[in-house]
Amino acid sequence: MTRNKKIILILILTIVLFCLSLFYVRNEVCCMFAGMRHRGFPYQIISISKVTEDFEEAKKVYSLNDFELLSRGWKLKIDSGFDPLFWSISFNFIFYLAISSGLIFIVERIKQNEKKIKK
Q: Are 74 and 48 in contact (CB under 8 A)?
A: yes
Return the percentage of the chain with pLDDT > 90, whole number: 58
Q: Are 65 and 23 in contact (CB under 8 A)?
A: no
The pLDDT assigned to 105 comes to 92
Residue 4, pLDDT above cutoff 90: no
The 10s digit of each residue's pLDDT in 66-99 is 999 999 999 999 987 777 888 889 999 999 999 9
The pLDDT assigned to 31 comes to 82
Residue 1, pLDDT above cutoff 70: no
Residues in CB range of 42: below 8 A, 6 or more apart: 91, 92, 95
Tell me which residue of 55, 21, 59, 52 sits closest to 38, measured CA to CA.
21
Q: What is the mean pLDDT of residues 23-34?
A: 89
CB atoms near residue 116 (< 10 Å): 8
pTM: 0.78
Calpha distance 18→89 (Å, rounded) = 9
Residues in CB range of 27: below 8 A, 6 or more apart: 35, 36, 37, 61, 62
